Amino acid sequence: MGEVGRERNVKVKVLCGAHGDNSQRISLLESCGFEIERYFLTMERSLTDPIPEAEFPEGFTLKHIDNEVDAAVWAEMFNQTFIDHWNHQDITVESVKDKLNDPKYRSELSLVVVAPDGSLCCFL
């Protein structure tokens, strides 16, 4: 693929994956010149256990998104957080505002962490 891309002056990118315990597939991909670019984790927790109260460093607080004020910062945080994910496409401030104003949107589920200087530093 790389050779064809160079001949035609076209950037070629092939993505594939393997579970970490599949050593044969990993060896095959490495023998074909593939390199590990990123890892993924699958995380889980019991839904029957109580969820502990969130703990933040001193000065950091949790709040709900203020639709108009926070949309631009939220979009930028999202874009920077997922920029290295496969097939990432930036979202726009307008698309965030559309989602926040959708009648089916559940604002009680959209939380952000505010740093001591008042800036948004994390979304949940």
Backbone torsion region of residue 56, taken as left when φ is above 0, otherwise alpha when ψ lies between -120 and 50, otherwise beta: beta
| DSSP-derived secondary structure for 48-103 | SSPPPPP---TT-EEEE--HHHHHHHHHHHHHHHHTTSTT--PPPHHHHHHHHTST
Boundaries of every domain in the chain: 1-44, 61-123
| Average pLDDT in the chain | 89
CB 108 within 8 A of CB 100: no
Determine if the pTM surpasses 0.85.
no
pLDDT at 54: 86
SS3 122: strand
**Is 65 buried (19+), middle (13-18) or exposed (0-12) by CB count in 10 A?**
buried
The 10s digit of each residue's pLDDT in 26-72 is 999 999 988 888 888 889 999 999 989 889 999 999 998 877 778 99
Identify the sign of the CA torsion 93, 73, 63, 86. positive
